[in-house]
Chains A and B, each alone.
Chain A
Amino acid sequence: MIGPVFRTGVLNLLHSRVDILLTFLVPIAFFTVFTLIFDRGVGTTRELPIVIADEDGSGAGRELGRRLGEQAGLRLHWPGGEPGAPVTREAAEHAIRGGFAKAAIVIPPGWPQPEAAGRAVRPPALPLEILLDTSDPIAGRIIQALLVQQAAAVALGGPEPEAEALPVHVVDLLAEDKSNPVVAVHAAGIAVMFLLFGAVGAAGTLIDEEQTGTLERLLATRATMTGLLLGKWLFLTCLGVVQVTAMFAFGQAAFDADLTGHLPGFGVMTVVTAMAASSFALLLATACRSRAQLNGVAIVVVLCMSALGGSMIPRYVMSEELQQIGLLTFNAWALDGYMKVFWLERPLADLAPQAAVLAASALVLFGAARALAGRWQTL
């Protein structure tokens, strides 16, 4: 009794490519992707871009800047484009707000210590200031630790325990007047991933229609294949916009994310992201021959895209090379756009690169889906 049941299970598995894919290949694919992300299997350790605004300009400040620039995990960013040119505090702030640097270190005039002339007691050390983009919390801590270490070496001639005596004032530059910007960025990551799953699921009706003969009947009416696909694309896009909006609205209601304060940018990014996701879903649906195949392929492709594109794990924890590879997914472009809207609060015009890439993806993927759907049009 047990034997035939066991044998049936084995035979069913062997005859189902989708089940084999889900059982064996999906875990391996995910293991590979996550290993690449966390073990730095691709590329080198990332370098964190920082700006140094040396308002002191003297020997100590210059020495601190030089030492920070030599740190393996840091890369000096020069807002004016000319290495070594003086950088003002305003220029450093602008570089962070523009997303060009993760942090700026402001060295006050007279650092590390004001003149003690005429005083009986030595005055306290002047505080260094770090202006941070805390969207990448790991980067902030790394930069802060390196700064304290190098500042101690310059000001006190050695590291701990004297380093504790050096005051560092940390300014969370981008989050200071926002209600809960991190939630909005997290919501974007999750929303884009589930936008893809939702779109693929809804696009699967195309396969259902083909298999039940409904597509044949539809094509016998005045409807054309292009018209049918456009109708489905429009529906999927509208569904996606509603889905993402609902997610962000919940984020605002439950977690204090500021959706209403960023509606124009949110609108632009949500529409172009939903357009691209809809085209992508139609492409998968037209490429697959059955619902089961579509579901299997969608799980692998969408989860891999989401992992590499930053929906599951922030891209800032990945190596530089993996971050570049992530740009092949439109998750990354969408999340970069949402980051500009909710975190960096950039004007609408600054969304142009992300919007253009997503809109172009939508067009190209729709064209590919239309070409593949040709096989259903005439036999």
Chain B
Amino acid sequence: MREVSLQIDSGERLALLGPNGAGKTTLVRCVSGRVRPDHGRIRLWGEPLSPALRAEHLGLVPQDIALYPALTARANLEIFGRLYGLRGSELARRVEWALEWVGLSARARDRIATYSGGMKRRINLACGVLHGPRVALLDEPTAGVDPQSRERIYDMLDELGSQGTAFVMATHHLDEAETRSDRVAILDAGRVIEEGTVPELVERTVGRRRRVVMRLDRPLEQPIPGILPGSHSAEAVIETEDVGKDLPVALAALESVHHRIRDFEIEAPNLHAVFIHLTGRELRE
């Protein structure tokens, strides 16, 4: 990794995006201590991130289901709670909180091996944040789960974030990064190539240009200035930076040649467009 400089504030959610091999997991591992960087510094609230500070204030949620499948959910939580330094009534209280938080209190005595993928993900998440870390490192926290479980996991993260926990989340899901994070850092080949809020990234890369697709009653019979044919025969398209001004003009032009508008859709530049713009379409191995 080179030229990586990121900052995250309390309660903030930072998404790390990048193609395969971009360095997302490596960056998470640098922060968690698994990978030792050759250069640079990692600080937590201004202090160098020592192993003791890391164990107390960081929570790691690996991409894999890093649990003991033969043990119950409660036993897994108790083991990781102890390893994070929780003891006695504090440990019991946090375990109960975690089971409640992930909605698995009723299944607390069941072995992890009997859980569904989504349930395992939730316990996997709970084991990493059981000790109330100030920063949680999440590596693909919703990999391989259904939409319902994904929504549940993000609701859980919202709840935790509202209590001040910051998240660094490596993900491939652009829609999740766009809707569930405050800022996005896009990595490629070990570097951070862009970083900011989604509107900032759009502004700096693909611009604010909108694409309006209009579905007509029949194909366009003659060219109309400022209106392009769409990808389907009965579609017309305009591209504009001011929809409010240019769309009525286009609608009037179509009406003048006796076309009826059956439907229309405004396509705004999104994170997907930014991502493809920055990292290209070539396959990464």
**Residues of A participating in the B interface, judged by any CB pair closer than 8 Å:** 212-214, 216-223, 378-379
Contacts and interface: CB of A to CB of B under 8 A. Distances in A.
Given A222-B85, A223-B83, A217 B33 contact: no
B127 interface: yes
A220 B65 contact: no
Contact of A216 (B66, B68, B83): B66
B67 A221 contact: no
B68 A214 contact: yes
Nearest to B76: A214
Contacts of A217: 60, 62, 66, 80, 127-128
Given A220-B34, A220-B55, A213 B63 contact: yes
B257 interface: no
Contact of B66 (A214, A222, A223, A378): A214
Contact of A378 (B33, B67, B85): B33
Given A221-B55, A379-B34, A216 B85 contact: no
Nearest to B32: A220
B35 A220 contact: no
A216 B34 contact: yes
A216 B62 contact: yes
Interface of B: 29, 32-36, 52, 54-55, 58-60, 62-68, 80, 83-85, 127-128
Nearest to A220: B60
13 contacts: A213-B63, A213-B66, A214-B62, A214-B67, A214-B68, A221-B80, A221-B83, A221-B84, A222-B85, A378-B33, A378-B34, A378-B36, A379-B34
Contacts of B59: 220
Nearest to A223: B83
B83 A222 contact: yes
A292 to B, nearest CB: 19
Contacts of B128: 217
A220 B64 contact: no
A223 B33 CA distance: 12
Contacts of B33: 219-220, 378
A215 to B, nearest CB: 8
What 4 A-B pairs are tightest by C-beta distance, nearest first? A221-B83, A213-B64, A213-B62, A213-B66
Pick the most buried of A214, A217, A378: most chain B CB atoms within 10 A of its CB: A217
A249 to B, nearest CB: 27
A220 B128 CA distance: 9
Pick the most buried of B34, B64, B68: most chain A CB atoms within 10 A of its CB: B34
Contacts of B85: 222
Given A214-B68, A378-B36, 4 more contacts: A212-B65, A213-B64, A220-B32, A222-B85
B38 to A, nearest CB: 12
Contact of B34 (A219, A221, A222, A223): A219
B134 to A, nearest CB: 14
